[in-house]
């Protein structure tokens, strides 16, 4: 699997050019790369960077500053333009180089960061910890100096196209990438304002009593049948306040829309309604593997971008000896192994965020009521520099709870956000970074206790132990607080400290022999404001392949990914209902024939050979039925705007701006399942969406509607009822709308695969670990000024498409045996 792959026939918009930075620059760098000569820089330390034949750098140094100097240098060598745009996305300075279209993005970013607090936290670090930040920044700057000294060959083309140059980095910039692109994107979500807006709409349309009944069937606190990561029936760790009377003012449509717009600008469309749900993982103990060792698989779904959101890295020295992958610009290596343990993660589901509804002074909107008196808000004024336009001032206001997210002047209110990780951003980062040095479960948990943001960590070790733990500082909320909605900001709903780490859910060597997640509920008893965890959950596609008493080999464990990625995530729940409802119809009836198509289907969405359509008409039938059933069941009960919000049926779509992202069962699918399950539902069904009608009759009627619709669209021949495939695009636009590649640099594969941004597997054989990974398009994002692409720009695309992986080199001997280049730096 080593070497350069040929151009793949399914790629679009990506032209292979003569080899780029390391290929065209051989004459320039040959002595350094091949002979290992030292590149000079100020100082007396020495760093060696070795790259394997996929371009993955392994950094060797004796001290922390040197190790992270090499880390920053290597990333800048591969991804300098992406790194620059990650820095600007993190600190809110995109408009300075890309113009007025990005002012709103910069405002949203700046409105949720406190640079003074971050600097204070960095200053409080030990000298060794601070050296990580300073070393990384110094390494990036060293590469920038080299690039600018030879810009005609080394400056990435995107800088030239956009008319600016890379800026010098500081330790604060390193921190801001972590906060802006990771914490504020993956860990700041909440549905509390949208929940309040929904309740207001339902009560206005159906009255208070019925409106609340319907609300509780649209947004529930807990489904007692939802699959959990920590197996049900074990020790309960979580505690949540019971719903109380919040006595909140209503939220205006404008304020709710403004709040959502702020979240979209900061987090992206996929993460606006509560917690992001976009990663999977499974870890198996020795009792479940053919080799009798622990195996960890992780598929973080952090978007499909070009360059990839993640890159490979090896760090060796100063207490580290790891190989793994991590998002652009981060110090912690979030995914990997150190030879004794392996670790991974999926976004967590613990409720560490609250929104406060602040009552404003009618005479002064910048004062809010707290403890019986009006207090002035704290105000910070930032200036956003804008390319081609005048600078813009942005006023950033905050209360004792946090930054203002939206104003509702019509109701005399403002909404502020509070997160348990605020003020602990750097401590959270350091816990994640130091976890890679752990040698056992207890050491792993000790670092996890430092992590204040909600994340689920997965663990395996060479002794055969496996585990998972839900991290995040859990607020101790007052009993009167209903976590579904904003808390009152008047001082009556303040957190009473935080729960001890022992309250966080975890599992270690469970009896079932494995643990699995696709961002589903962490443990029974969990209550969250917007997760809507349900019996209908895509993790079922993973459990279906892992459950039972059989043992799996390493390849079979890897291939669970393919089975899950191709699954139609709605099918297993509704095909049985449809087939049963149509069973009494004559065999030749078109409705019965449509049901028979579903009955014969393996419930996978694959491309037909040589065609750009899916290979089974059943997928077309199911999608049409879901739409028809939704209309029959819900359209008469929900206000039109609310019903329209459930139009998404849970299938991938391509937009001009981005890739399909991570697909999960539709929100409406959960409502349909609960209604069809009736008393057996894990969510009490107090409002009858069927209006007394027979369930089977309505299911059959919806299928008849679907058949009629498809007959009109395609004609009577069911063989023509095909659905075009959605292609798998690697977007040049990141999750918050900022480009980090040149126009036209968006490779595509066919069809879309519902899998990780990266996929990796670690087989923890004592003394003989094995790790493989794939993170398409490639390790490098470098395009030379003449348009030439680096040889590692897209050499993982073919692996990605065929669900393959490349071997990771874990030991010095393995790295040397697969060596492409070696370079020594002085700092």
Q: Which residues are catalytic?
A: 279
Are 646 and 667 spatial neighbours (Cβ–Cβ below 8 Å)? yes
Distant-in-sequence, close-in-space partners of 677: CB < 8 Å, separation ≥ 6 = 535, 685
- Which residue shows structure tokens 């609300």? 215
Could you tell me the CA-to-CA distances from 802 to 8, 226, 278, 518, 608 in Å, in that order?
A: 11, 32, 21, 22, 15
Q: Tally the C-alpha atoms within 13 A of residue 274's C-alpha that lie toward its C-beta.
A: 22
Q: Calculate the alpha carbon distances from 379 to 185, 549, 671 in Å.
A: 23, 61, 43
Beta strand 819-826 with 38-39 is parallel
Say if CB 320 and CB 67 are below 8 A apart.
yes
**Tokens representing 751?**
């069809």
Tokens representing 629? 């059933």
Neighbours of 130 (CB within 10 A): 17
Query: Which of 566, 519, 525, 518 lies closest to 543, judged by CA?
Result: 518
Contacts of 798 (CB under 8 A, 6+ apart): 5, 6, 8, 804
Q: How far apart are CA 585 and CA 583, in angstroms?
A: 6
Burial class (CB in 10 A: 0-12, 13-18, 19+), 626: buried
Contact at 8 Å (CB) between 669 and 677?
A: no
The closest alpha carbon to 574, from 662, 699, 685, belongs to 699
CA-atom Rg of the chain in angstroms: 27
> CA distances (Å), 512 to each of 231, 345, 515, 533, in order?
9, 20, 8, 22
């Amino acid at each position: 699997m080593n070497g350069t792959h040929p151009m793949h026939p399914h790629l679009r918009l990506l032209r292979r050019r003569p080899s780029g930075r390391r290929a065209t620059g051989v004459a320039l760098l040959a002595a350094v790369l091949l002979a290992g000569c030292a590149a000079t820089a100020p100082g007396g330390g020495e760093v060696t960077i070795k790259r394997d034949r996929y371009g993955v750098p392994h950094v060797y140094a004796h001290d922390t500053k040197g190790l992270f100097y090499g880390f920053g240098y290597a990333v800048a060598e591969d991804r300098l333009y992406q790194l620059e745009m990650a820095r600007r996305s993190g600190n809110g300075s995109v408009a300075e180089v890309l113009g007025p279209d990005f002012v709103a993005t910069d405002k949203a970013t700046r409105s949720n960061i406190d640079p003074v607090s971050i600097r204070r936290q960095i200053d409080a670090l030990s000298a060794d910890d601070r050296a990580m930040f300073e070393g990384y920044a110094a390494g990036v700057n060293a590469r920038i100096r080299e690039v600018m000294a030879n810009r005609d060959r080394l400056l990435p083309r995107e800088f030239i196209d956009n008319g600016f140059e890379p800026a010098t980095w500081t330790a604060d910039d390193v921190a801001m990438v972590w906060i802006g692109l990771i914490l504020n994107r993956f860990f700041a979500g909440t549905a509390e304002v949208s929940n309040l807006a929904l309740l207001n709409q339902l009560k206005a349309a159906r009255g208070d009593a019925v409106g609340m009944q319907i609300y509780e069937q649209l947004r529930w606190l807990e489904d007692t049948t939802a699959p959990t990561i920590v197996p049900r029936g074990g020790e309960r760790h979580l505690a949540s306040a019971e719903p109380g009377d919040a006595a909140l003012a209503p939220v205006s449509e404008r304020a709710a829309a403004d709040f959502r717009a702020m979240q979209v600008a900061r987090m992206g469309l996929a993460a606006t309604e509560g917690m992001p749900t976009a990663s999977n993982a499974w870890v198996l103990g020795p009792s479940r593997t053919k080799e009798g060792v622990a195996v960890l698989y992780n598929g973080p779904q952090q978007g499909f971008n070009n360059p990839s959101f993640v890159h490979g890295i090896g760090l060796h020295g100063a207490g580290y000896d790891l190989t793994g992958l991590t998002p652009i610009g981060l110090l912690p290596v979030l995914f990997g192994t150190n030879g004794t343990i392996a670790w991974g993660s999926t976004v967590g589901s613990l409720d560490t965020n609250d929104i406060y509804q602040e009552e404003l002074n009618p005479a002064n909107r910048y004062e809010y009521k707290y403890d019986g008196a009006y207090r002035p808000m704290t105000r910070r004024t930032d200036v956003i520099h804008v390319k081609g336009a005048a600078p813009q001032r942005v006023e950033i206001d905050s209360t004792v709870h946090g930054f203002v997210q939206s104003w509702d002047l019509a109701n005399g209110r403002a909404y502020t956000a509070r997160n348990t990780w605020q003020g602990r951003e750097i401590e959270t980062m350091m816990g994640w970074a130091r976890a890679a040095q752990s040698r056992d479960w207890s050491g792993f948990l000790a670092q996890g206790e430092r992590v204040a943001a909600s994340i689920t960590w997965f663990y395996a070790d060479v002794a055969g132990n496996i585990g998972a733990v839900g991290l995040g500082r859990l607020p101790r909320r007052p009993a009167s607080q209903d976590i579904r909605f904003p808390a009152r900001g008047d001082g009556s709903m303040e957190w009473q400290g935080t729960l001890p780490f022992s309250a966080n859910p975890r599992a270690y060597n469970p009896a079932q022999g494995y643990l699995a997640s696709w961002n589903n509920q962490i443990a029974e008893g969990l209550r969250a404001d917007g997760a809507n965890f349900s019996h209908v959950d895509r993790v079922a596609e993973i459990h279906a392949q892992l459950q039972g008493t059989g043992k799996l080999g390493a390849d079979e464990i890897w291939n669970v990914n393919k089975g899950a990625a191709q699954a139609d995530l709605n099918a297993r729940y509704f095909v049985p209902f449809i087939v049963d409802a149509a069973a009494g119809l004559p065999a030749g009836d078109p409705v019965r024939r449509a049901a028979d198509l579903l009955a014969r289907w393996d419930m996978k969405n694959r491309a037909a050979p040589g065609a750009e359509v899916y290979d089974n008409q059943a997928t077309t039938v199911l999608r049409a039925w879901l739409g028809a059933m939704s209309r029959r069941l819900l359209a008469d009960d929900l206000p039109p705007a609310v019903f329209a919000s459930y139009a998404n049926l849970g299938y991938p779509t391509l937009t001009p701006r981005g890739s399909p992202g991570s697909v999960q069962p539709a929100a409406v699918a959960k409502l349909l399942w609960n209604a069809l399950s009736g008393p057996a539902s894990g969510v009490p069904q107090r409002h009858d969406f069927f209006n007394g009608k027979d369930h089977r009759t309505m299911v059959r009627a919806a299928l008849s509607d679907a058949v009629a619709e498809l007959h009109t669209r395609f004609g009577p021949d069911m063989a023509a009822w095909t659905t075009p495939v959605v292609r798998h695009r690697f977007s040049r636009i990141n999750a918050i709308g900022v480009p980090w590649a040149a126009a036209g640099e968006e490779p595509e594969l066919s069809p879309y695969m519902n899998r990780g941004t990266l996929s990796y597997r670690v087989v923890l054989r004592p003394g003989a670990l094995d790790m493989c990974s794939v993170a398409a398009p490639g390790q490098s994002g470098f395009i030379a000024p003449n348009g030439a692409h680096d040889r590692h720009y897209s050499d993982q695309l073919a692996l990605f498409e065929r669900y393959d992986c490349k071997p990771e080199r874990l030991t010095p001997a393995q790295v040397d045996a697969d060596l492409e280049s070696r370079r020594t730096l002085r700092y």
